[in-house]
Amino acid sequence: MRLSTLRHACRNLPTPSVHQPRTGVRVFGLAKRSLPLGHSNNSQLLLRAACSISGTTSAEKAPKLGKQTDGPGYENTIRENVQRTKEKMVALQRGHPALKPTLAIIQADEDDRLLEINKKMAGKIGLNITQICLPRECTEDEIIEEVLKLNEDPRVHGVYLHLPPASLTSRVLNTLRPEKDVDGVSDLNVGRLVRGDMSQGFTPPLANAVMELLARHDTPMEGRTVLVVGGEGPLGVALQCLMQRGGMVVLNSRRSSEGLQKQMMQANAVVLLAAGHMDVPPTWLRPGTAVIHCGSALMTDHGREMSGVGPLTAALRMRNVVQSSSRWAQGQQYRPWTLRSLKLQPLSPVPSDIEISRAQTPKPVDQLAQEIGLLQEETEAYGRTKAKVRLSLLDRLREQPDGKYVLVAGITPTPLGEGKSTVVIGLVQALSAHLKLNSFACLRQPSQGPTFGVKGGAAGGGYAQVIPMEEFNLHLTGDIHAITAANNLVAAAIDARMLHEATQTDKALYSRLVPSVNGVRRFSPIQIARLCRLGISEIDPRALTPQEVSSFVRLDLDPAKVTWQRVVDTNDRFLRKITVGQASTEKGHVRETQFDIAVASEIMAILALADGLGDMKTRLGRMVVGSSRSGQPITAEDLGVSGALAVLMKDAIKPTLMQTLEGSPVFVHAGPFANIAHGNSSVLADKLALKLVGEDGFVVTEAGFGADIGMEKFFNIKCRASGLRPNVVVLVATVRALKMHGGGPNVSAGSPLPREYIDEVRDWRERTLLGLKQSSTTILLSVVMTDTQAEIDLVCQMAKESGAADAVPCHHWARGGRGSVDLAQAVKQASSQPSHFQFLYSQETPIVEKIRMIAQKVYGADDIELSPEAQAKIDYYNQQGYGKLPICMAKTHLSLSHLPEKKGTPTGFTLPIRDIRASIGAGFIYPLVGTMSTMPGLPTRPCFYDIDLDPVTEEITGLF
């Protein structure tokens, strides 16, 4: 019979299995055999008899080996060990009430006598015991399969391999995690014992039992000779090591040794590790010799079962399980950082970004994870330099206070960008590497559209960037691909559903949506949820009325009111309007639709705002994809696709851990555009980082584009969703942007900068204080090589006059963290001041008033102008109960107004709202201002002209 068949039969018995641990769990095997006795290769060996032969006057009076002579002293030893372990258990559960330590026993037959001994001892202490029975002829791989499951089960704190010697191969023993190896048989635990470092290891319980029995001897054993018969293997090594540390002289012998009699006559104590039923003539022993026979605890003598020191060994095993549980609980606590910074040697002139990235050797990501206090099981490596971090970290550090929360925003930028990402990285490098404060950067994942279009890479720049930059900019861990797949699955489901409803009767639809499988028809859980929303309580498919069947199968989506678009992560202007359904197989169901850039998908916004897997799944289910002909919203859950979306996104929800050039940690997660979405990295990345840095640490995150877009959405959308409040806001200003908004000529990507941006010009001072008037705690000036000292001084003076707490020049691009130390000091100082954060508007404020408040108070508009279509949408959203959602304005990032060419601080304009859409799953309503497009196009000369791959070295060139 195959192992899988045995296990299936075993686990279908009316008793719980190892994966449902609780006291007294038994899982019976189907193969029966007797265990070999007296082997020496693991701690399955239990003391058969404990004979303290002291005070005898002749060898004839010594009892024959194998006689059970346990007395009150032996029982007291067990009782004392049980009591001490129980006290430790009580103290452990006082601090961790939900913790229930569990020992798992893997054995290769169904003999339960060993289980009963361990179960009895576990019951006295308050532990769980669970047993996995494998067939007698189980293979090495089958044992390892079970061991690996137990390694990953957080409920199991100890594993005991009660297996034949032949099954206890080095591969099996060393597959078992050392921290769960409570019998101390793995190479690592034996090595720790030999080295004398038991802070993380375990001593074999049987070895400890032998030592306790030797300690009961009337004569102290220090300086005496102990003969160990059959001391090969881990147990023998451990026992010899303990004896030598106790000052004993250890002799080793095999059972068949010719000189065994002579060695026994020399010994003050004899320990028979592999003696089986061996009987030793009394004449071989000196009077007063202590003899400990370590055969099986389940051997019989004249038909009478004898346990010997089995109970003592079991008690000591339970002590190890409690110790393992205590170490596990201690390991769940917050771990202080041991961050090792990487050295920088900045060059002048500053090389290209990719040259700088390749000149630095990043730390292995598992090393970085360990340095910042992550547990091994909390990371999933994607290669050598990046890893996903599991959300279980939030549960582990639930009680840990958050660190300081810093937002980096910017003034309205030029088309070239003003370096917010580089500021985030430079600031974190300064805090971590130079001020020695725990610090974490949280950044968005770049879209492939800008990477191959206009902007190029987005890993930062100069000596303030995330490495390796190629991996940061290209694919990363596949989150955007997962979003694309999930988004387009919804689109496919919409068109398929409309086609099938249009071409089938209610009966045909019902029979296909609820098919008969093996003669039984059942609703799936997601279909039952739809029945509940329809007010249908019946869950038997045969019991629905024709009207109920029709309501269930017909979504009746109006093709003209489908709001869901397909996406692709490439700038492709020719997908802004397309026609689908032109193949003859689609039976004339043609409609116009469009593609958006992938990062504009509502699923991307959900990823950034969700606070856990359950929240993400709920949000995905309530995404509105269109309206029925009767005007009712149709959701992804109505389509039956929400569960599949959660499956596609289950890995994407975990933030990706990377590092800066100076070895500081970075979370890269989510990447919504700020001009067509909320433009902030994920809530989850921020929450994880705030726990990891500790109460005195700093988490620095970035809001996309200008403060009028990214920062406003950070405050009114992200902070509402997360419940977090920033301690400091850093507003990035550049001389280049101030000059442009002060009347300088236009700047375009790929073209040389006009002379006005290179030469010193001061006549822009009185014409703009753009951005510097916006309330913030700290303003920094991101310095580039063309800036003069007079210009730098002027901007800092203007910032302070505008109310900033401080204004400092920043040289992170050319010098790395060292160039941002002044900024780091200013942020640290500002973080100690009280924060006076407040939302711009209340959730109860009507939709129109929310839009008007943003337009007037943030953009400086006189008023707003709603198109008839926008007003109709507002009326519909109010009718559907969406009026309390926050607003996510979709507008150009190049001006405070809706017109990109309007620089500076324009006034006297009316903000036109041409359309309004709703992202119900993400939880916001987004007005479209002016001619805002959700699909960028490629320029005449895109960045991909410069990007290439060396086929020999596989090095990428021209990425940035």
For 878-887, write each residue's pLDDT tens digit: 999 999 999 9
Stretch 97-112: mean pLDDT, rounded? Answer: 87
Indicate the residue among 788, 807, 832 that finishes a domain. Answer: 832
Question: SS3 string of 718-763?
Answer: HHHHHCCCCCEEEEEECHHHHHHHCCCCCCCCCCCCCHHHCCCCCC
Query: Do 825 and 923 share a domain, yes or no?
Result: no
Same-domain status, 682 and 822: yes
- Please tell me the predicted confidence (pLDDT) of residue 882: 95
Quick one: 368 and 277 in the same domain? no
Residue 364 has pLDDT above 60, yes or no: yes
Alpha helices in 459-514 (DSSP H): 469-473, 479-503, 506-513
Residue pLDDT, tens place only, 430-472 = 999 999 999 999 999 988 767 776 656 667 889 999 999 888 8
Does 576 map to a domain? Answer: yes
How long, in residues, is the chain?
Answer: 960
φ/ψ of 790, rounded to 5, equals -65, -40
Tally of CA atoms within 13 A in the half-sphere of 282 that contains its CB: 14
Q: At 22, is the pLDDT very low, low, confident or very high (cuts 50, 70, 90)? A: very low
In a domain, 11, yes or no: no
- Distance CA(636)–CA(619), nearest Å, equals 10
Q: Is 954 part of a structural domain of the chain? A: no
Query: Which among 335, 339, 333 is positioned nearest to 437, based on CA atoms?
Result: 339
Distance (Å) of CA 826 to CA 796, 810, 822: 13, 11, 6
Asked if the model's pLDDT at residue 763 lies above 80, the reply is no
Least confident of 36-40, 252-256, 654-658, 835-839: 36-40
- Check if the beta carbon of residue 594 is closer than 8 Å to that of residue 565: yes
Give residue 903's pLDDT band: very low, low, confident or very high (50, 70, 90): confident
CB neighbourhood size of 343 (10 A) = 10
Does the residue 551 lie in any domain? yes
Q: Is the pLDDT of residue 52 over 90?
A: no
Domain annotation covers residue 271: yes
What is the structure's pLDDT at 765? Answer: 54
- The first and second tokens of residue 386, run together, are 């990046």
What Å distances lie between residue 345 and 351, 464, 661, 665, 698, CA to CA?
12, 12, 11, 20, 25
Single out the residue of 317, 251, 306, 253 nearest to residue 44, CA to CA.
Answer: 317
Residue 770 near residue 791, CB atoms below 8 Å: no
pTM of the model: 0.83
* Residue whose entry in the numeric block shows the structure tokens 């098919």: 515
pLDDT at 43: 29
| pLDDT score recorded for residue 781 | 64
Number of Cβ within 10 Å of residue 775's Cβ equals 11
CA distance 795 to 554: 63
CA atoms within 13 A on the CB side of 35: 26
Q: Which of 73-87, 172-186, 728-742, 899-913 has the highest mean pLDDT?
A: 172-186
> Does residue 232 share a domain with residue 94?
yes
- Among 110-119, 122-131, 229-238, 286-295, which range has the highest average pLDDT? 122-131
CA distances to 362, 393, 657, 668 from 612, in Å: 30, 11, 17, 16
Tens of pLDDT along 796-805?
A: 887 787 777 8
Same domain, 93 and 235: yes
pLDDT digits (tens, 9 = 90+) for 384-436: 999 999 999 999 999 999 999 999 998 877 776 678 899 999 999 999 999 99
The last residue of a domain, from among 808, 832, 856: 832
**Nearest in space to 780 (alpha carbons), one of 740, 816, 833, 735:** 735
Task: Say if 822 falls within a structural domain.
Answer: yes
What is the rounded CA–CA span in Å between residue 289 and residue 178?
36
Total tally of structural domains belonging to the chain: 4
Helices and strands of the chain, counted as H and E runs: 33, 36
464: part of which helix (H) or strand (E)?
strand 464-467
Q: How confident is the model at residue 325 (pLDDT cuts 50, 70, 90)?
A: very high
pLDDT value of residue 455: 58
Q: Which of 257, 314, 268 is nearest to 292 (CA)?
A: 268
CA distances from 708 to 412, 712, 902 (A): 7, 6, 14
Yes or no: say if 468 and 342 are a contact pair by the CB < 8 Å rule: no
What distance in Å separates the CA atoms of residue 698 and residue 440, rounded to the nearest whole number? 6
Percent of the chain with pLDDT over 70: 84
Specify the CATH number for the domain of residue 889. 3.10.410.10
Residue 12 — pLDDT band, cuts 50, 70, 90? very low
The DSSP output letter for 36 is P
pLDDT of residue 324: 96
Q: Specify the DSSP class assigned to residue 490.
A: H
Residue 23 belongs to a domain: no
| Cβ-based neighbour number of residue 860 at 10 Å | 16
Give the CATH number, domain containing residue 186: 3.40.50.10860
Q: Which residues contact 220 (CB under 8 A, 6 or more apart)?
A: none
For residues 113 and 56, which has the higher predicted lDDT (pLDDT)? 113
Q: What is the 3-state secondary structure (H, E, C) of 889-953?
A: CECCCCCCCCCCCCCCCCCCCEEEEEEEEEECCCCEEEEEECCCCCCCCCCCCCHHHCCEECCCC
**pLDDT confidence band for 771 (50 / 70 / 90):** very low
- Same domain? For 225 and 316 the reply is yes
Domain span at residue 664 reads 353-476+657-747+758-832
Report which secondary-structure segment, H or E, holds 200.
none
Q: How confident is the model at residue 954 (pLDDT cuts 50, 70, 90)?
A: confident
Of all residues in the chain, the percent with pLDDT exceeding 90 is: 57
Q: Judge if 498 and 631 occupy the same domain.
A: yes
How open is the CA angle 802-808-814, to the nearest 5 degrees? Answer: 140
What CA–CA distance (Å, rounded) separates 328 from 316?
18
**Residue 791: pLDDT band with limits 50, 70, 90:** confident
30: pLDDT strictly greater than 90: no
Instruction: Work out the pLDDT band at 76, boundaries 50, 70, 90.
Output: confident
Give kind and range of the element (H or E) at residue 369: helix 365-371
C-beta atoms surrounding 274 within 10 Å: 24
- Residue 457: the pLDDT is 62
pLDDT digits (tens, 9 = 90+) for 528-564: 999 999 999 999 999 999 999 999 999 999 999 999 9
Q: At a CB cut-off of 8 Å and minimum separation 6, what does 618 contact?
A: none
Domain's final residue, options 613, 631, 649: 649
Lowest mean pLDDT among 27-31, 48-52, 349-353, 448-452: 27-31
- Return the higher-pLDDT residue of 579 and 740: 579
Say if residues 438 and 770 touch (Cβ distance below 8 Å): no
Is the separation of the CB atoms in 85 and 208 below 8 Å?
no
For residues 22-36, one letter each, b for 16 or more C-beta atoms within 10 angstroms of the residue's C-beta and e for the rest, the string is eeebbbebbeeeebe
Using one digit for the tens of pLDDT, what is the confidence trace for 917-934?
999 999 999 999 977 777
- How far is CA 320 from each of CA 157, 210, 629, 642, rounded to the nearest angstrom? 9, 16, 67, 46
Q: Does 202 share its domain with 234?
A: yes
Q: Do 773 and 865 belong together in one domain? A: no
CA 104 from centre of chain? 27
As a whole number of angstroms, the distance between CA 487 and CA 625 comes to: 11
Specify the pLDDT at position 17.
Answer: 37
- Output the pLDDT for position 909: 94
Q: Does residue 685 sit in the same domain as residue 630? A: no
Higher-confidence position of 452 and 380: 380
Six-digit token string for 901: 């060419």
Asked if 205 and 103 count as a contact pair (C-beta separation under 8 A), the reply is no
Q: In this model, does residue 57 exceed pLDDT 60?
A: no
Can you give the pLDDT at residue 302?
Answer: 31
Q: For residue 584, how far is the Cα from the chain centroid?
A: 47
Same domain assignment for residues 439 and 542: no
* For the ranges 69-83, 172-186, 578-592, 893-907, the one whose mean pLDDT is highest: 172-186
320 plus 212 within the same structural domain? yes
In a domain, 59, yes or no: no
Structure tokens at 400: 């840990």
**Do the Cβ atoms of 449 and 569 come closer than 8 Å?**
yes
